[in-house]
Amino acid sequence: ETGVTQSPTHLIKTRGQQVTLRCSSQSGHNTVSWYQQALGQGPQFIFQYYREEENGRGNFPPRFSGLQFPNYSSELNVNALELDDSALYLCASSLEIWTSGASTDTQYFGPGTRLTVL
Amino acid sequence: KQEVTQIPAALSVPEGENLVLNCSFTDSAIYNLQWFRQDPGKGLTSLLLIQSSQREQTSGRLNASLDKSSGRSTLYIAASQPGDSATYLCAVPPGNTGKLIFGQGTTLQVKP
């Protein structure tokens, strides 16, 4: 186990609703990244938070938003849900030092939240 | 734009075989490359991380190599076992960002 937990495990919503997914990082990690994985595809980067600030964003619309808290836990919020938002949502935590200006740490993934939008 | 490709998409082998999974990337300016394992419906488990200055990493029966100049990495699994059945994904961070770009994965089935 990686020490990264996510809740809930499964979630069913209808189009137009809003959802909040939660992630608890591995102890001591200061960075969290969120990914969306559609069935049969590799994960797609949504965004990353480093010390409570957004530190990069993928090609996702603004209705995908996030937060990182002082204890480094994190939330992913999705507004106005669409059918295509149905996917496995993964969070990953890491300890980034950024001394060399590069990310060098392994990312540790949680078990994911399976979101189904009807 | 960095693109990551994994071939083959699926692979079925008898137990005990040695096998190689391939990963290629279009932009050689990477800082590291990571291999993951994913069981059906589950999260990702990190197997190996190779820094750009390294050529290979080993963990048990797994060996991953990295050739930045050719944009390729291979994951070698020795003496495969049914428990190795899973999807294997490779991923690279573009430039000095922390985000990972993943390949589509190779789904491996090891038959007893």
Structure confidence by residue, pLDDT tens digits, B4-54: 999 999 999 999 999 999 999 998 888 889 999 999 888 999 999 998 889
**Average pLDDT rounded to a whole number, residues A85-112:** 80
- CA contacts within 13 A on the Cβ side of B88: 29
Residues of chain B positioned with their CB less than 8 A from the CB of A42: 4, 89, 91, 102-105
Nearest to A104 among B32, B36, B102 (CB): B32
In chain B, the residue whose alpha carbon lies closest to the alpha carbon of A43 is B102
Q: Which residue has the higher pLDDT, B29 or A113?
A: A113
Give the per-residue pLDDT at B109. Answer: 97
- The string of DSSP letters for B31-87 reads SEEEEEEE-TTS-EEEEEEEETT-SEEEETTEEEEEETTTTEEEEEE-S--GGG-EE
With helix as H, strand as E and coil as C, how does A32-56 read?
EEEEEECCCCCCEEEEEEECCEEEE
Query: What pLDDT, on a 0 to 100 scale, did the predictor assign at position A103?
Result: 53
Q: A22: pLDDT confidence band, cut at 50, 70 and 90?
A: very high
Give contacts of B99 with chain A, Cβ < 8 Å.
33, 45, 48, 56, 58
- Judged by CB atoms closer than 8 Å, whether chains meet at B31 and A104 is answered as yes
A11 exposure class (CB count in 10 Å sphere: 0-12, 13-18, 19+): middle
Nearest by CB to A103, which of B46, B89, B97? B97
pLDDT at B94: 73
Q: What is the rounded average pLDDT of the residues A38-43? A: 92
pLDDT, mean of residues A16-35: 92
**Partners of residue A36 on adjacent β-strands:** A44, A89
Is A72 in CB contact (< 8 Å) with chain B? no
Total residues belonging to chain A: 118
